[in-house]
Amino acid sequence: MDLRLSRESAPYVFISPFYIMFAIFGAFPIIFSFYLSFNMWDGITEMKWVGVENYIFVVTDPWFWKAIGNSLIIFLMTTIPQHLIALTLAYMLYLGTIKFKEFFRSAFFLPYITSAVAIALVFQLLYGQHFGMINAMLKWLQAVPGIGGLFELMHLDLPIRWLGDPKWVKPAIALMVTWKFTGWNLILYYAALQNIPTTLYEAAKVDGASPIQIFFKITIPLLRSVIFFAVTMSIIGNLQIFAEPYMLTGGTGGPANSGLTAAMYLYNTGFKWAEFGTGSAMAYVLCSFIVVFSMLNKYFFRDKG
Amino acid sequence: MRKNKKPIKILTMIRKTLMYLMLGVGAVITIFPFYYMLVLSTKSREEIFSFPPPLWFGTKFFDNLHILLEKMPIFKALWNSVFVAGSQTILVLFFCSMGGYAFAKYKFKGKEALFSAMLATMMIPQLLSIIPWFIMMRHFGWINTFKPLIIPMIANPFGIFLMRQFMEGIPDSIIDAARIDGAGEFRIFWKIVLPISLPALGTLGIFTFLGSWNQFLQAMLILQEKEMYTLPVALSKLAGKAASNWGASMVGTVIGTLPVVIIFIFASKQFIAGMTAGATKE
């Protein structure tokens, strides 16, 4: 076979697979989804045009708002600690006086590569009410003088029903997500820290700045664009969170649907109840939320940099 | 050791101890669930539900495996996962390095716009298309096949971007020399550019394999027969029946997790390097 490409046409041929694949599996479904969102369809009987009815149904559906609310709370509960911990630990590793750097970096990153489904099974056991490791630890901590009093002050009733009490389901999901994704952010921040010219630090040191001052006055401002990127990824990821809550609540959404996320509700609407039209409308509403939050994030982190 | 004044030395000592403490606690928290999973996979039901929770290995691993195999053909699922992730990886390496090469080493009309458009598609939330995507797969007759889990992602923006980042560093003179020798464009890519790009191919390969290995939502929608389950789907189905035997579920988790952990231990440097190359250069 002698199929020779000219130098002019070769690049187009080489990049074409992406655009072809995206047209079929990306763009077409998105457009089709938009069309579907104005129709009623169960995938079997005939499609019926209903106009904006699906959208009206979605925005007036209390369960949808509950699910959006759950997603937002989980998003805040995990994103804030994730980035704070990641930044702090990355800065410590970066400062350079630490041994076993490689080990720490790899260890922190390890959770990211594992399957959410597999890890959720382990966390279900860790969260066990009577025999779970986390409650056992809390019980041991309670015996430490001072900490027991602190627990009482916080109205912490041990043992905690992590996955059985509506109040604790969201923290339980957020904790597992934090465990899984902090390392990813850490690696990102660590790499970004290494790109900051060391002369800046040396100058600050000569001026007598402490590491903590340097962190807030030099490091954080210079990391603005990376923080923007990392938080954007957190928004896109966490507002679509599915596998973790699905697994931790056994696919049900948990007690009083306290762990029902928007993605799970969309899954139920589309695939359990075969409401393809309503599900598509829901997807569009959910994605507009993601866009709004990404823009807010841009306003906070990017434009001033 | 540094020769600072004494009070500063003590301060740095305290600071250092604190840092090790925080990093150490962090590392223990990240690693413990893996250890715990291994421990529980060797425990009987009674041992798992005891107080205080077990912390050291037991002897029931093979009993648990036996129970697991009665419920779920877990080794079939393991093979399915290897097959899906392996074939996706091979195809991704080919198509993404080809695309990356074009963006790195050719000048052509519309290049910048095409590249930005491609990157922008990474920001599209996956949920937006999941319902029609499923309908399409059904229309193609691809339900209960591995195709939907392999084919749509073979030329993805992340992979093309990663390969472009690396290939930009290949000297033009090598490529020009091959052209003067009369090599065709594809031949140059296949015989010269690909072999030089091995390190980047390794990084992308690991990424793709792990991503595919952990794929859940799509796999759950598409794979509806036990014999076709990949590991995440098999494990998610176990969860429903898990109340009867957690030890067996933990054996399943070990089978689902250990391969990627081992890959990661051997290739963590490449993995981390690839990730940061993709994320920090904008």
* Assigned domain for A229 exists: yes
From the list B153, B261, B252, the residue with the least C-alpha distance to B210 is B261
The Cα B255–Cα B235 span in angstroms is 10
Task: Check B275 against A192: CB less than 8 A apart.
Answer: no
pTM of the model: 0.90
Residues 90-109 of A with CB under 8 A from B: 92-93, 95, 97-98, 102-109
The pLDDT of residue B280 is: 53
B56 touches chain A (CB under 8 A): no
- For B41, residues 6+ apart whose C-beta sits below 8 A from its C-beta are B61, B64, B247, B250, B251, B253, B254
Torsion over CA: B38, A115, A191, B200 (sign):
positive
Per-residue confidence in pLDDT tens, chain A, 305 aa: 446 788 889 999 999 999 999 999 999 999 999 999 999 998 888 889 999 999 999 999 999 999 999 999 999 999 999 999 999 999 888 876 677 888 888 899 999 989 999 999 999 989 988 888 888 888 888 888 777 778 877 777 778 889 888 999 999 999 999 999 999 999 889 888 888 888 888 888 888 888 788 888 888 888 888 888 888 888 888 889 999 999 999 888 889 899 999 999 999 999 999 999 999 999 999 999 888 988 888 888 765 54
Predicted pLDDT of residue B160? 95
Query: Considering only residues 102 to 121 of chain B, which have any Cβ-Cβ distance to chain A shorter than 8 Å?
Result: 102-103, 106, 108, 111, 114, 118, 121
- Provide the angle, in degrees to the nearest 10, between the axes of the packed helices A224-238 and A62-94: 140
Contact with chain A for residue B252, Cβ under 8 A: yes
Q: Quick check: B52 contacting A, CB < 8 Å? A: yes
CA distance B114 to chain A (A): 9
- pLDDT tens-digit map of B21-38: 999 999 999 999 999 999
Put simply, the answer to whether B272 touches A187 (Cβ < 8 Å) is yes
pLDDT at site A80? 94
> What's the whole-number mean pLDDT along residues B217-227?
94
Provide the residue range defining the domain that includes A223: 58-127+162-301
- Which A positions 182-211 lie with beta carbon below 8 A of chain B? 183-184, 187-188, 190-192, 195, 211
Q: Which amino acid is at A292?
A: V
Q: Least CB-CB distance to A283: which of B131, B217, B261?
A: B131
Q: What percent of chain B has pLDDT over 90?
A: 60
A67 in contact with B, Cβ within 8 Å:
no
Return all residues near A79 (Cβ < 8 A) that are at least 6 apart: A231, A234, A235, A238
What is the per-residue pLDDT for A305? 43
Q: Is the dihedral of CA B204, B210, B216, B218 positive or negative?
A: positive
Complete DSSP assignment for B131-194? HHHHHHHHHHT-TTSSHHHHGGGTT-HHHHHHHHHHHTTS-HHHHHHHHHTT--HHHIIIIIIH
Is B5 a residue whose pLDDT tops 60? no
* Residue A118 lies inside a defined structural domain of this protein: yes
Rounded Cα distance between A248 and B218, Å, is 18
pLDDT of residue A82: 95
pLDDT at B282: 42
Q: CA-CA distance, B227 to A304, in Å (whole number)?
A: 54
Contacts of B278 (CB under 8 A, 6+ apart): B158, B161, B162, B165
**Beta carbons of A247 and B237 less than 8 angstroms apart:** no
Question: Cα–Cα distances in Å, from A31 out to A46, B47, B130, B136?
Answer: 19, 54, 12, 13
Tell me how crowded residue A21 is: count the other CB atoms within 10 A of its CB: 18
Task: Enumerate the residues of chain A whose CB falls inside 8 A of the CB of residue B240.
Answer: 250-251
Chain A residues whose CB is inside 8 A of the B153 CB are 21
Q: How far B259 CA sits from the closest chain A CA (Å)?
A: 10
Structural domains in chain A (count): 1
**In the beta sheet, which residues pair with residue A48?**
A40
Determine the Cα–Cα distance for residues A293 and A296; give it in Å rounded to an integer.
5
Domain-by-domain residue ranges, chain B? 1-30, 63-280
- Compute the average pLDDT of residues B207-226: 93
CATH topology of domain B63-280: MetI-like fold (1.10.3720)
* Weakest mean pLDDT among A10-24, A73-87, B211-225, B262-276: B262-276
Percent of chain B residues topping a pLDDT of 70: 93
Q: What is the pLDDT of residue B6?
A: 65
Residue A220 lies in a domain: yes
CA distance A165 to A296: 33
Taking contacts as CB-CB distances below 8 angstroms, the residues of chain B near A113 are 210, 214, 260-261, 264, 271
Residue A39 three-state SS: strand
Calculate how close chain B gets to A17, using CA atoms only, in Å.
6
Distance from C-alpha of A277 to C-alpha of A36, rounded to nearest angstrom: 5
Q: Which residue has the higher pLDDT, B59 or B277?
A: B59
What is the C-alpha separation between B247 and B230, in angstroms, rounded? 20
Mean pLDDT across the stretch B249-274?
A: 85
Peptide bond into B52 cis (omega under 30): yes
**What is the per-residue pLDDT for B132?**
93
Q: Give the CA radius of gyration of chain B.
A: 24
Flag whether A2 is in a domain: no
Q: Which has the closest alpha carbon to A195: A107, A94, A74, A52?
A: A94
The verdict on B143 touching A (C-beta cutoff 8 Å) is no
Residue A134: count of CB within 10 angstroms of its CB: 18
- C-alpha–C-alpha distance, residues A297 and B192, integer Å: 43
Q: What is the CATH number of the domain that holds A266?
A: 1.10.3720.10
Is residue A51 in a domain? no
**What's the confidence (pLDDT) of residue B1?**
47
In a domain, A5, yes or no: no
Q: What is the pLDDT of residues B157-197, one digit of tens each?
A: 999 999 998 999 999 999 999 999 988 999 999 999 999 99
* Mean pLDDT, chain B, integer: 88
- Is residue B159 less than 8 Å (CB to CB) from chain A? no
Locate the chain A residue with the closest alpha carbon to B20: A98
Other Cβ atoms within 10 Å of A176 Cβ, number: 25
> What amino acid is encoded at A196 in this protein?
I
CA B26 to chain centroid: 22
- Pairing type for strands A48-49 and A39-40 reads antiparallel
Which residues in chain B touch residue A88, judged by CB atoms under 8 angstroms apart? 22
| Angle subtended by helix axes B130-140 and A276-301, to nearest 10 | 140
The alpha carbon of residue A2 and the mean position of all alpha carbons in its chain are separated, in whole angstroms, by 49
Query: What is each CA distance from B54 to A131, A166, A240, B27, B30, in whole angstroms?
Result: 9, 28, 35, 20, 18
Cβ atoms A218, A201 nearer than 8 A: yes
B125–A286: do the CB atoms touch at under 8 Å? yes
Interface ipTM above 0.90? no
Q: Distances from the Cα of A92 to the Cαs of A105, A195, A201, A221, B268, in angstroms? A: 11, 15, 14, 17, 20
